[in-house]
Homo-oligomer: A and B are copies of this chain.
Amino acid sequence: MSQTVDRALSILPLLAEGPADLGQVADRLGVHKSTALRLLRTLHDHGLVYRQSDQRYRLGARLFALAQEAMENLDVREIAHPHLVRLGEACGHTVHLAVYEEGEVLYIDKVDSRYPVRMYSRIGKPVAITVAAVAKLLLADLPEPERRAVAESLDYPLYTARSTPDAAAFLKELATVREQGWATDLGGFEESINCVAAPIRGADGRVVAAMSVSAPNVVVTADELLTLLPLVRRTADAISDEYSGRTPVTDPAKDTA
């Protein structure tokens, strides 16, 4: 591991606590002032550190820009896909990945047990938003005014007798889902199809996508499907960790004391 870079990077969390001057930085790094100066200058040239008018240093603006750009280039689907495939192989049912966008919920990936191939044909199709388990999770995480606005602007078609009947019922269901952190669709769209779903969250905790496992009654009962919930949630959490760049276990030997 590169010592120089190590020292330089150690400055960042230090400055995150608040602005500091050269002497403080040098002290806390345990290096000479001139060394700290050169490190800070390099950080400064890259915009990671900003020198305010009182000559003290603080974290710089480029940090935002970097985080921002990285977020935009993050592809949930790319990261999620291998996890979905593994889940599909493990449980043998259909796995979906969906996102919310502009009042709609869209499937962006699908893995079927028998043919673990992306079925682009289905991807992009709008989801039955009032009943699908993934839709409930995605809508449940919206800020209250938008959630309400969306819920009230929707149609509530009665696909089956168990479909969500109206906005009031839907909002109540969303509250439950938000509370428990997972969702189901038990015959709300097709009488014979059940789903369990779990949310995928970004670094800030907001739900960026949702995934579900679906199976027809003739294969497994709803109760049997529900036994898969822990596995689904674990998969979703694994995707969340990877998506948000939290390294779950890189080196099991090392641990921060």
Contacts and interface: CB of A to CB of B under 8 A. Distances in A.
B64 A106 contact: yes
Contacts of A125: 65, 68
Contacts of A179: none
Contacts of A47: 102, 245, 247
A6 B245 contact: no
Contact of A48 (B9, B121, B146, B203): B9
Contacts of A60: 70, 101-102, 245, 247
A196 B5 CA distance: 44
A2 B38 contact: yes
The secondary-structure label for the interface of chain A is mixed
Interface stretch (A50-58, A130-138, A161-169): A50-58
Interface string A1-40: 1101110111011011111000000000000000000110
A69 B122 CA distance: 10
A86 B117 CA distance: 36
B70 A59 contact: yes
Contacts of A64: 67, 70-71, 106, 108, 123-124, 203-204, 244-245
Copies in the assembly, this chain: 2
A49 B254 CA distance: 17
Nearest to A125: B68
A39 B5 contact: yes
A42 interface: yes
B61 A245 contact: yes
A82 B13 CA distance: 27
14 contacts: A6-B42, A9-B48, A12-B66, A15-B70, A19-B73, A59-B66, A59-B69, A60-B70, A60-B245, A64-B123, A64-B204, A65-B203, A68-B124, A120-B204
Given A17-B69, A63-B66, A63-B70, 13 more contacts: A2-B4, A5-B42, A9-B43, A9-B48, A47-B245, A50-B102, A50-B245, A64-B71, A68-B121, A114-B145, A114-B146, A115-B146, A117-B143
